[in-house]
A and B are shown apart, each in its own frame.
Chain A
Amino acid sequence: MSPADPTPTPRDARMTWRRFVDRAMAGVMLLCSVLVMAPLFLVVYFLFREGASALDLNFFLQLPKPTGETGGGMAHAIVGTIELLLMAVVLGVPFGVLGGIYLAEYGSDRTSYWVRFAADVLNGVPSIVWGMVVYALLVVPFKTFSAYAGGVALGLMMVPLVMRTTEEVLVLVPQSYREAGLALGIAKWKIILVIVVRAAMKGIVTGVLIALARVAGETAPLLFTALGNNFWNRNLAQPIAALPLQIFSYATSPYDDWHRQAWAGALVLILMILGLNLLVRFLSRDRNFD
């Protein structure tokens, strides 16, 4: 039937309907995508609108003022977050990277299948649970909340993340690199450390940064480990402040000025995390080996 056919047949009507459904569903899918992206834009928009005005130099340099006084900052929480993340790296990276090496280089057996499985399952454990576990492990025996406990909680969360990403990049290193090393008579552990890991270094660092960005915003594991405080802490065996903790306690407080500071803190935190993510993007632009 030609397009000029004057009388529509049932076949035409059916086709028109099918075309209509096709277009409609395409619209629905596009709408879904827009709705999925909307929260990010809304959150970022409000973070800048509410947070930027509360952000000044004092925010980065001062401690919180006593309740009722306006002003002050979150200097201690920014430094606290950095300290906690450093401790997490010290704990999480060696275990994660070594475990990843095992999975990629040694494990072709059932052990590595189960370790991989366990790592993926462990990634799904709610972060608040890590807080409880570390509370029982470190806070109860030492009878005090401490920066160490907070660092350990974040570090434990990093282990499975780093392990999986390390494994994934090591597997990408071409087999010929290893064979070249073997042909030279180099011991396997040296081949791994000097050739394979070095070749994959950028990818491993990227994985660590991803894990770091993921735990940097965690509040729940710190609630009963690092606890938070309102002053400078020079003793890691004492409670320490962290940006997410400070945001939480200020956001749920009844004071307007604290709400403003919570927005400012959130803006700083999200800029830190998005900064880490951009760094990851930049680093992983050319991760292929060919």
Chain B
Amino acid sequence: MAPPSRLPDTAFRWLALLAALTIVGLIALVGWELYGGARLAVAKFGVKFLVNSTWDPVTDTYGAWPFIFGTLVSSLIALVIAVPLGVGTALYLTEMAPGRLRQPIIMVIEMLAAVPSVIFGLWGIFVLLPWLRDHLFPWLQKLFGFLPIFQGAIYGVSMLAGGIIVAIMILPIVTSVSREILRSVPNLQREAAYALGATHWEVIRIAVLSYARRGLFGAMVLGLGRALGETMAVTMVIGNRPEVSASLFAPGYTLASVIANEFTEATTDLYLSSLFELGLVLVAVTLLVNIIAQLMLRSLAGSGSGKVT
């Protein structure tokens, strides 16, 4: 089969390969540009940057700790809220829901995933924050005020508000990935438990949840990855104050929101460079978390093409 030239074939193959490799190129680009921008701050502050809690543009001193703290705390709050709700919903959808309810619920959750961050932020400022300030927070303080995390003045804008809005935003992904995981539990598992006389809930607890435990953990890690990088909605409700406070009612600040707020206002080179280093920290952490999540979910899916996004 010599006559038809194979050149176009080879050329097309290479072109496609090149396009596929842009992905790898993009990861390299992200790392390179962020590192390039952060070099000045890395050289100036070294490792101390991560643990120093002073962020003061006036004296040109920058430390990342308040933002790392805020990102971790708001993401943890989000997970504490979103994981039980998401897994519960996924269980309801796979194990309990009558067939005609299933599709509408899935559609609502998909639409929730489509709502832009900035719209959640807008809603957060004008609807959620007043409600939290006037109802939920005072109530929490009355009931659990003896705990340090529920003490102090209530402004509305707070770490807890940030965590709640992030929880809403990661609910769809936690739910849909959990649902995929639960659907992959073999029916034999369930039937075996039913045959032993288990009730519906016992089947779920014994056969389904214990089987799916690792996968659900993977869903949680994936949710964490999203939570860490949430920007706009958090920026609008968390209060944007670089402080480390034990109280969840106190304003906080996250890595992503300080970048969003201060990047275009950075007046000195060192200021801008420090913001780049915050970006570098953010990317390093989210990439790590995402890689862990993908590896966990992939090892479950077996072959390479895990359909999880």
Interface size on B, residues (CB 8 A): 97
Say yes or no: A43-B120 contact (C-beta < 8 A), given A29-B91, A103-B20: yes
Which B248-304 residues sit within 8 Å CB-CB of chain A? 256, 259-260, 263-264, 275-276, 279, 282-283, 286-287, 289-291, 293-294, 298, 304
Question: A285 vs B6: C-alpha distance in the bound complex, in angstroms?
Answer: 38
Q: Is the interface of B mostly helix, strand, loop or mixed?
A: helix
Q: Check: A21 CB closer than 8 A to any chain B CB.
A: yes
Q: A residues within 8 A CB of B77?
A: none
- Is B13 on the interface with A (CB-CB < 8 A)? yes
B96 at the interface (CB under 8 A from A): yes
CB of B22 closer than 8 Å to a CB of A: yes
Smallest Cβ distance from B132 to chain A, in angstroms? Answer: 13
Tell me if A's interface is mostly helix, strand, loop or mixed: helix
A192 touches B96 (CB 8 A): no
- How many angstroms between the C-alpha atoms of A25 and B88 in the bound complex? 9
CB distance from A255 to the nearest CB of B (A): 13
Q: Which residue of A lies closest to B276 (CB)?
A: A132
Closest chain A residue, CB of each to CB of B107: A281
Cα of A124 to Cα of B290 in the assembled complex, Å: 6
CB-CB under 8 A from A106, the residues of chain B are 13, 16-17
For residue B42, CB closer than 8 A to chain A, the reply is no
Contact B171 A36, beta carbon cutoff 8 Å? yes
Instruction: Kindly report which residue of chain A lies nearest to residue B307, judged by CB atoms.
Output: A168
Per the bound structure, the CA–CA distance linking A19 and B199 in Å amounts to: 7
Residue A263, interface by CB 8 Å: yes
A129–B229 touching, CB < 8 Å: yes
- Are A46 and B127 in contact, with the CB atoms below 8 A? yes
Nearest CB in chain B: distance from A92 CB, A: 10
User: Does A289 have its Cβ within 8 Å of any Cβ on chain B?
Assistant: no
- Interface flag for A1 (CB, 8 Å): no
A101 contacts chain B at the CB level, 8 A cutoff: yes
How many A-B residue pairs lie within 8 Å, measured between CB atoms?
Answer: 281
Partner of A187, one of B8, B33, B117, B175: B8
The answer to whether B70 has its CB under 8 Å from any CB of chain A is no
* Contact between chains at B256 and A126 (CB < 8 Å): yes
Residue of A nearest to B85 (CB): A32
Find the A residue at minimum CB distance from B109: A36
Closest to B165 in A: A39
Contact partner of A217 (CB less than 8 A), chosen from B12, B112, B119, is B119
Identity of the chain A residue whose Cβ is nearest the Cβ of B97 in the assembled complex? A33
Known: A32-B88, A126-B256. 18 other contacts (CB 8 A): A32-B92, A39-B168, A40-B108, A106-B13, A115-B23, A117-B294, A120-B308, A121-B27, A124-B287, A126-B283, A127-B231, A185-B4, A189-B9, A219-B116, A248-B118, A266-B118, A270-B116, A277-B114
Q: Give me the 6 closest cross-chain CB pairs, A-B, nearest first.
A: A217-B116, A126-B229, A32-B88, A98-B19, A102-B16, A189-B12
Binding site for A on B (CB under 8 A): 4, 6, 8-9, 11-13, 15-24, 26-27, 29-30, 33-34, 36-37, 84-89, 91-93, 95-97, 105, 108-112, 114-123, 125-127, 168, 171, 175, 199-202, 204, 222, 225-226, 228-232, 236, 256, 259-260, 263-264, 275-276, 279, 282-283, 286-287, 289-291, 293-294, 298, 304-309
6 contacts between A and B (CB under 8 A): A33-B89, A46-B127, A107-B20, A159-B26, A219-B117, A244-B232
Measured CB to CB, the residues of A under 8 A from B are: 18-19, 21-22, 25-26, 28-33, 35-37, 39-40, 42-43, 46-47, 50, 94-99, 101-103, 105-107, 111-129, 131-133, 135-137, 156, 159-161, 163-164, 168, 171, 185, 187-189, 192, 213-214, 216-220, 223-224, 227, 244, 247-248, 251-252, 259, 262-263, 266, 269-270, 273-274, 277
